[in-house]
Amino acid sequence: MPPPGYEPFLAAICANPDDDTPRLVYADWLDETGDPDRAELIRLEVRLAAGAPGRADRESLKQRQRELIQRNRDRWLAELPRARGFEWTFGSEDQWNTYWRFDRGFVGCVTFWSAAAYRRAAARVFRATPVRAVSVCGVRPTDLALFTNERFSQCRSLCVNGDELGPGEVERIVTAAPLQGLTYFRIYGAGIGDDAVDRLCEPGVLPNLTVLWMDGLIGDRGVETLAASHHGPRLEGLHLNFQLTHVGDRGARVVAKGAFRRLKQLSLGKAIQDPGAVALARSPVLGRLDYLYLDGNRIGETGAIALKNSPQIRALKEIYLRYNPIPKAVAERIERDPGRVRVWADPVAWEPGAEE
Protein backbone atom coordinates (compact mmCIF):
# COMPACT_ATOMS: atom_id res chain seq x y z
CA MET A 1 0.00 0.00 0.00
CA PRO A 2 1.09 3.65 -0.39
CA PRO A 3 2.53 5.37 2.69
CA PRO A 4 -0.08 6.21 5.39
CA GLY A 5 -1.90 9.46 4.69
CA TYR A 6 -2.11 9.09 0.90
CA GLU A 7 -5.93 9.21 0.73
CA PRO A 8 -6.45 13.00 0.39
CA PHE A 9 -3.87 13.14 -2.41
CA LEU A 10 -5.54 10.28 -4.31
CA ALA A 11 -8.99 11.83 -3.87
CA ALA A 12 -7.76 15.13 -5.32
CA ILE A 13 -6.18 13.35 -8.30
CA CYS A 14 -9.30 11.28 -9.02
CA ALA A 15 -11.48 14.40 -8.78
CA ASN A 16 -9.33 16.25 -11.36
CA PRO A 17 -7.67 13.65 -13.59
CA ASP A 18 -6.85 16.16 -16.33
CA ASP A 19 -4.87 18.37 -13.93
CA ASP A 20 -1.20 17.47 -13.45
CA THR A 21 -0.76 19.67 -10.38
CA PRO A 22 -2.27 17.25 -7.81
CA ARG A 23 -0.15 14.46 -9.26
CA LEU A 24 3.04 16.47 -8.94
CA VAL A 25 2.16 17.49 -5.38
CA TYR A 26 1.65 13.81 -4.61
CA ALA A 27 5.02 13.00 -6.19
CA ASP A 28 6.75 15.46 -3.83
CA TRP A 29 4.97 13.85 -0.87
CA LEU A 30 5.98 10.35 -2.02
CA ASP A 31 9.62 11.45 -2.17
CA GLU A 32 9.35 12.56 1.44
CA THR A 33 7.51 9.46 2.66
CA GLY A 34 9.42 6.61 1.07
CA ASP A 35 8.32 5.78 -2.49
CA PRO A 36 10.80 7.62 -4.75
CA ASP A 37 10.18 5.23 -7.70
CA ARG A 38 6.48 6.13 -7.84
CA ALA A 39 7.35 9.81 -7.51
CA GLU A 40 9.79 9.52 -10.40
CA LEU A 41 7.26 7.66 -12.57
CA ILE A 42 4.64 10.35 -12.04
CA ARG A 43 7.01 13.17 -13.01
CA LEU A 44 8.45 11.20 -15.93
CA GLU A 45 5.05 10.29 -17.41
CA VAL A 46 3.75 13.82 -16.93
CA ARG A 47 6.73 15.00 -18.93
CA LEU A 48 6.18 12.38 -21.64
CA ALA A 49 2.50 13.29 -21.89
CA ALA A 50 3.45 16.93 -22.38
CA GLY A 51 5.95 16.04 -25.12
CA ALA A 52 9.59 15.52 -24.23
CA PRO A 53 12.05 17.89 -26.00
CA GLY A 54 13.85 15.82 -28.60
CA ARG A 55 13.63 12.25 -29.81
CA ALA A 56 16.74 11.01 -27.99
CA ASP A 57 15.51 12.47 -24.71
CA ARG A 58 12.09 10.89 -25.23
CA GLU A 59 13.56 7.45 -25.87
CA SER A 60 15.67 7.76 -22.74
CA LEU A 61 12.59 8.67 -20.69
CA LYS A 62 10.62 5.74 -22.13
CA GLN A 63 13.42 3.33 -21.27
CA ARG A 64 13.44 4.62 -17.69
CA GLN A 65 9.63 4.35 -17.64
CA ARG A 66 9.88 0.66 -18.56
CA GLU A 67 12.50 0.05 -15.88
CA LEU A 68 10.42 1.65 -13.14
CA ILE A 69 7.26 -0.22 -14.11
CA GLN A 70 8.98 -3.58 -14.44
CA ARG A 71 10.59 -3.18 -11.04
CA ASN A 72 7.41 -2.08 -9.23
CA ARG A 73 4.47 -3.30 -11.32
CA ASP A 74 3.33 -6.08 -8.95
CA ARG A 75 3.52 -3.87 -5.89
CA TRP A 76 1.65 -1.00 -7.52
CA LEU A 77 -1.04 -3.24 -9.02
CA ALA A 78 -1.53 -4.85 -5.60
CA GLU A 79 -2.76 -1.48 -4.30
CA LEU A 80 -5.86 -1.71 -6.50
CA PRO A 81 -9.14 -3.49 -5.67
CA ARG A 82 -9.74 -6.93 -7.15
CA ALA A 83 -13.06 -8.64 -7.75
CA ARG A 84 -14.75 -11.02 -10.16
CA GLY A 85 -16.03 -9.28 -13.27
CA PHE A 86 -13.33 -6.71 -13.99
CA GLU A 87 -9.59 -6.43 -14.47
CA TRP A 88 -7.04 -3.69 -14.89
CA THR A 89 -6.53 -3.88 -18.65
CA PHE A 90 -7.80 -2.23 -21.80
CA GLY A 91 -7.74 -3.71 -25.30
CA SER A 92 -5.02 -6.25 -26.06
CA GLU A 93 -1.45 -6.44 -24.84
CA ASP A 94 0.02 -5.48 -28.23
CA GLN A 95 1.79 -2.15 -27.91
CA TRP A 96 0.08 -0.63 -30.96
CA ASN A 97 -3.32 -1.68 -29.66
CA THR A 98 -3.17 -0.76 -25.99
CA TYR A 99 -3.93 2.26 -23.87
CA TRP A 100 -0.86 2.35 -21.61
CA ARG A 101 -1.56 0.58 -18.34
CA PHE A 102 0.10 3.45 -16.43
CA ASP A 103 -0.99 6.99 -17.22
CA ARG A 104 0.97 9.82 -15.57
CA GLY A 105 1.93 7.56 -12.69
CA PHE A 106 -1.34 5.68 -12.16
CA VAL A 107 -3.09 2.67 -13.60
CA GLY A 108 -5.65 4.34 -15.83
CA CYS A 109 -7.48 1.52 -17.60
CA VAL A 110 -10.09 -1.07 -16.63
CA THR A 111 -12.17 -3.70 -18.42
CA PHE A 112 -15.58 -4.71 -17.08
CA TRP A 113 -16.58 -8.11 -18.47
CA SER A 114 -20.28 -7.22 -18.35
CA ALA A 115 -22.54 -4.26 -17.73
CA ALA A 116 -23.61 -5.94 -14.48
CA ALA A 117 -19.97 -6.04 -13.35
CA TYR A 118 -19.71 -2.34 -14.12
CA ARG A 119 -22.75 -1.57 -12.00
CA ARG A 120 -21.36 -3.61 -9.11
CA ALA A 121 -17.82 -2.28 -9.09
CA ALA A 122 -17.58 1.06 -10.92
CA ALA A 123 -17.88 3.29 -7.84
CA ARG A 124 -15.04 1.46 -6.09
CA VAL A 125 -12.88 1.35 -9.23
CA PHE A 126 -13.18 5.07 -9.95
CA ARG A 127 -12.29 5.92 -6.34
CA ALA A 128 -9.17 3.75 -6.45
CA THR A 129 -7.38 5.40 -9.38
CA PRO A 130 -7.90 8.17 -11.97
CA VAL A 131 -9.48 6.01 -14.67
CA ARG A 132 -8.96 7.25 -18.22
CA ALA A 133 -9.81 4.18 -20.32
CA VAL A 134 -12.84 1.92 -19.86
CA SER A 135 -13.89 -1.20 -21.71
CA VAL A 136 -17.38 -2.66 -21.17
CA CYS A 137 -18.19 -6.06 -22.68
CA GLY A 138 -21.49 -7.73 -23.47
CA VAL A 139 -23.44 -4.46 -23.61
CA ARG A 140 -27.15 -4.78 -24.44
CA PRO A 141 -29.62 -2.09 -25.50
CA THR A 142 -31.03 -2.05 -21.96
CA ASP A 143 -27.59 -1.13 -20.59
CA LEU A 144 -27.04 2.11 -22.47
CA ALA A 145 -28.04 4.38 -19.60
CA LEU A 146 -24.76 3.57 -17.87
CA PHE A 147 -22.88 5.72 -20.43
CA THR A 148 -24.76 8.80 -19.24
CA ASN A 149 -23.06 8.57 -15.82
CA GLU A 150 -20.87 11.61 -15.18
CA ARG A 151 -17.91 9.46 -14.16
CA PHE A 152 -17.39 8.76 -17.89
CA SER A 153 -16.63 12.44 -18.43
CA GLN A 154 -13.10 11.83 -17.11
CA CYS A 155 -12.48 9.02 -19.61
CA ARG A 156 -10.63 9.60 -22.85
CA SER A 157 -10.81 6.03 -24.21
CA LEU A 158 -13.84 3.76 -24.42
CA CYS A 159 -14.31 0.26 -25.82
CA VAL A 160 -17.83 -1.20 -26.10
CA ASN A 161 -18.92 -4.55 -27.49
CA GLY A 162 -22.27 -6.24 -27.82
CA ASP A 163 -23.86 -8.32 -30.56
CA GLU A 164 -27.28 -6.78 -29.90
CA LEU A 165 -26.04 -3.26 -30.67
CA GLY A 166 -27.20 -1.62 -33.89
CA PRO A 167 -27.20 1.89 -35.41
CA GLY A 168 -29.70 3.26 -32.87
CA GLU A 169 -27.69 1.99 -29.94
CA VAL A 170 -24.47 3.37 -31.41
CA GLU A 171 -26.18 6.76 -31.74
CA ARG A 172 -27.21 6.73 -28.09
CA ILE A 173 -23.68 5.85 -27.00
CA VAL A 174 -21.76 8.36 -29.12
CA THR A 175 -24.15 11.23 -28.33
CA ALA A 176 -24.07 10.69 -24.54
CA ALA A 177 -22.92 13.97 -23.00
CA PRO A 178 -20.22 12.49 -20.69
CA LEU A 179 -18.49 10.83 -23.67
CA GLN A 180 -17.89 13.93 -25.74
CA GLY A 181 -14.33 14.23 -24.42
CA LEU A 182 -13.29 10.86 -25.86
CA THR A 183 -10.22 10.78 -28.07
CA TYR A 184 -10.27 6.98 -28.58
CA PHE A 185 -13.43 5.00 -29.38
CA ARG A 186 -13.72 1.31 -30.13
CA ILE A 187 -16.97 -0.58 -30.78
CA TYR A 188 -17.75 -4.15 -31.80
CA GLY A 189 -21.01 -5.82 -32.76
CA ALA A 190 -22.53 -8.01 -35.43
CA GLY A 191 -25.29 -5.43 -35.94
CA ILE A 192 -22.91 -2.53 -36.48
CA GLY A 193 -22.50 -1.46 -40.11
CA ASP A 194 -22.35 1.56 -42.37
CA ASP A 195 -25.56 2.95 -40.86
CA ALA A 196 -23.81 3.05 -37.48
CA VAL A 197 -20.95 4.98 -39.08
CA ASP A 198 -23.55 7.51 -40.26
CA ARG A 199 -24.58 8.11 -36.64
CA LEU A 200 -20.99 8.50 -35.52
CA CYS A 201 -20.39 11.09 -38.23
CA GLU A 202 -23.29 13.39 -37.44
CA PRO A 203 -22.14 16.98 -36.81
CA GLY A 204 -20.65 17.60 -33.38
CA VAL A 205 -20.45 13.95 -32.30
CA LEU A 206 -17.19 13.02 -30.48
CA PRO A 207 -15.46 16.23 -31.60
CA ASN A 208 -12.08 15.27 -30.12
CA LEU A 209 -11.88 11.77 -31.62
CA THR A 210 -8.41 10.85 -32.93
CA VAL A 211 -8.47 7.01 -32.90
CA LEU A 212 -11.39 4.90 -34.14
CA TRP A 213 -11.83 1.10 -34.13
CA MET A 214 -15.01 -0.45 -35.51
CA ASP A 215 -15.81 -4.13 -36.01
CA GLY A 216 -19.04 -4.92 -37.80
CA LEU A 217 -20.54 -5.07 -41.27
CA ILE A 218 -18.66 -1.97 -42.37
CA GLY A 219 -17.72 -1.52 -46.00
CA ASP A 220 -16.58 1.06 -48.49
CA ARG A 221 -19.51 3.40 -47.85
CA GLY A 222 -18.52 3.63 -44.20
CA VAL A 223 -15.02 4.72 -45.19
CA GLU A 224 -16.46 7.33 -47.56
CA THR A 225 -18.71 8.67 -44.81
CA LEU A 226 -15.83 8.96 -42.35
CA ALA A 227 -13.62 10.68 -44.92
CA ALA A 228 -16.30 13.31 -45.64
CA SER A 229 -17.11 13.92 -41.95
CA HIS A 230 -15.55 16.16 -39.31
CA HIS A 231 -13.54 13.10 -38.19
CA GLY A 232 -11.66 12.79 -41.48
CA PRO A 233 -9.11 15.58 -40.91
CA ARG A 234 -8.60 14.65 -37.24
CA LEU A 235 -8.16 10.87 -37.17
CA GLU A 236 -4.66 9.65 -36.41
CA GLY A 237 -5.66 5.99 -36.12
CA LEU A 238 -8.28 4.22 -38.26
CA HIS A 239 -8.87 0.50 -37.71
CA LEU A 240 -11.46 -1.22 -39.93
CA ASN A 241 -9.94 -4.67 -40.41
CA PHE A 242 -11.77 -7.32 -38.45
CA GLN A 243 -13.74 -10.50 -38.99
CA LEU A 244 -16.93 -8.80 -40.15
CA THR A 245 -15.59 -5.78 -42.06
CA HIS A 246 -15.57 -5.86 -45.85
CA VAL A 247 -13.71 -2.72 -46.90
CA GLY A 248 -12.40 -3.21 -50.43
CA ASP A 249 -10.59 -1.35 -53.19
CA ARG A 250 -13.05 1.54 -53.21
CA GLY A 251 -12.43 2.20 -49.52
CA ALA A 252 -8.67 1.84 -49.98
CA ARG A 253 -8.78 4.45 -52.75
CA VAL A 254 -10.72 6.83 -50.48
CA VAL A 255 -7.94 6.58 -47.90
CA ALA A 256 -5.28 6.95 -50.62
CA LYS A 257 -6.82 10.24 -51.77
CA GLY A 258 -5.74 11.85 -48.49
CA ALA A 259 -8.90 12.89 -46.65
CA PHE A 260 -7.41 11.39 -43.47
CA ARG A 261 -4.49 13.80 -43.54
CA ARG A 262 -3.25 13.15 -39.99
CA LEU A 263 -3.37 9.36 -40.22
CA LYS A 264 -0.45 7.53 -38.56
CA GLN A 265 -1.90 4.04 -38.05
CA LEU A 266 -4.14 2.22 -40.51
CA SER A 267 -5.85 -1.19 -40.43
CA LEU A 268 -8.12 -1.90 -43.39
CA GLY A 269 -9.96 -4.87 -44.97
CA LYS A 270 -11.06 -7.59 -45.54
CA ALA A 271 -11.80 -7.28 -49.26
CA ILE A 272 -8.88 -5.23 -50.63
CA GLN A 273 -7.31 -6.60 -53.82
CA ASP A 274 -4.28 -5.54 -55.85
CA PRO A 275 -5.78 -2.28 -57.24
CA GLY A 276 -6.51 -1.00 -53.71
CA ALA A 277 -3.06 -2.00 -52.47
CA VAL A 278 -1.41 -0.27 -55.42
CA ALA A 279 -3.44 2.90 -54.75
CA LEU A 280 -2.19 2.93 -51.15
CA ALA A 281 1.38 2.28 -52.29
CA ARG A 282 1.26 5.31 -54.58
CA SER A 283 -0.34 7.61 -52.03
CA PRO A 284 1.47 10.22 -49.92
CA VAL A 285 -0.66 8.90 -47.05
CA LEU A 286 1.84 6.04 -46.79
CA GLY A 287 4.53 8.58 -45.99
CA ARG A 288 2.73 9.61 -42.80
CA LEU A 289 2.03 6.11 -41.48
CA ASP A 290 4.08 4.34 -38.85
CA TYR A 291 1.85 1.24 -38.93
CA LEU A 292 -0.05 -0.49 -41.76
CA TYR A 293 -2.15 -3.63 -41.18
CA LEU A 294 -3.70 -5.33 -44.20
CA ASP A 295 -3.89 -8.92 -42.96
CA GLY A 296 -6.60 -11.18 -44.34
CA ASN A 297 -7.36 -9.29 -47.55
CA ARG A 298 -7.20 -10.48 -51.17
CA ILE A 299 -3.89 -8.89 -52.08
CA GLY A 300 -1.64 -10.81 -54.44
CA GLU A 301 1.84 -10.44 -55.90
CA THR A 302 1.27 -7.09 -57.64
CA GLY A 303 -0.10 -5.35 -54.58
CA ALA A 304 2.45 -6.84 -52.21
CA ILE A 305 5.41 -5.79 -54.34
CA ALA A 306 3.95 -2.31 -54.86
CA LEU A 307 3.66 -1.80 -51.10
CA LYS A 308 7.10 -3.23 -50.40
CA ASN A 309 8.77 -0.95 -52.97
CA SER A 310 6.65 2.16 -52.48
CA PRO A 311 8.68 5.37 -52.85
CA GLN A 312 6.24 7.04 -50.42
CA ILE A 313 7.49 5.11 -47.37
CA ARG A 314 9.22 7.27 -44.75
CA ALA A 315 8.50 6.50 -41.09
CA LEU A 316 6.75 3.20 -41.78
CA LYS A 317 8.74 0.24 -40.44
CA GLU A 318 6.33 -2.70 -40.81
CA ILE A 319 3.52 -3.75 -43.14
CA TYR A 320 1.32 -6.72 -42.25
CA LEU A 321 0.17 -8.74 -45.27
CA ARG A 322 -0.42 -12.11 -43.63
CA TYR A 323 -3.25 -14.34 -44.88
CA ASN A 324 -3.32 -12.75 -48.32
CA PRO A 325 -3.10 -14.89 -51.50
CA ILE A 326 0.50 -13.92 -52.22
CA PRO A 327 2.43 -16.68 -54.04
CA LYS A 328 4.69 -18.50 -51.61
CA ALA A 329 7.93 -17.72 -53.45
CA VAL A 330 7.05 -14.01 -53.60
CA ALA A 331 6.08 -13.93 -49.92
CA GLU A 332 9.34 -15.61 -48.92
CA ARG A 333 11.38 -13.17 -51.00
CA ILE A 334 9.59 -10.17 -49.55
CA GLU A 335 10.04 -11.41 -45.98
CA ARG A 336 13.77 -12.11 -46.48
CA ASP A 337 14.46 -8.62 -47.81
CA PRO A 338 14.12 -6.07 -44.97
CA GLY A 339 14.73 -3.08 -47.26
CA ARG A 340 13.27 0.17 -46.00
CA VAL A 341 10.21 -1.54 -44.58
CA ARG A 342 9.68 -5.01 -43.12
CA VAL A 343 6.74 -6.84 -44.71
CA TRP A 344 5.17 -9.75 -42.86
CA ALA A 345 3.68 -11.83 -45.67
CA ASP A 346 3.42 -15.21 -43.86
CA PRO A 347 4.34 -17.42 -46.84
CA VAL A 348 3.03 -20.56 -45.12
CA ALA A 349 -0.51 -19.24 -44.70
CA TRP A 350 -1.51 -19.75 -48.33
CA GLU A 351 0.07 -23.12 -49.02
CA PRO A 352 -2.54 -25.53 -50.44
CA GLY A 353 -4.72 -26.73 -47.59
CA ALA A 354 -2.99 -24.55 -44.97
CA GLU A 355 -6.02 -22.29 -44.56
CA GLU A 356 -8.40 -25.17 -43.87
CATH topology of domain 86-344: 3.80.10
Mean pLDDT, rounded, of the chain: 91
Whole-model pTM: value is 0.90
Q: What is the pLDDT of residue 253?
A: 98
Q: What is the pLDDT of residue 348?
A: 65
Q: What is the pLDDT of residue 52?
A: 65
**In which residue ranges of the chain is pLDDT below 70?**
52, 90-100, 347-356
CA 128 to chain centre: 24
Residues 127 and 147: their CA atoms lie apart, in Å, by 18
Query: Burial code of 73-96, b = ≥16 C-beta within 10 A, e = fewer?
Result: eeebeeeeeeeeebbbbbbeeeee
Give the list of residues 6+ apart from residue 338 with CB closer than 8 angstroms, or none.
Answer: none
Domain ranges of the chain: 1-79, 86-344
Q: What is the pLDDT of residue 349?
A: 58
Nearest C-alpha neighbor of 105 from the set 38, 26, 13, 7: 38
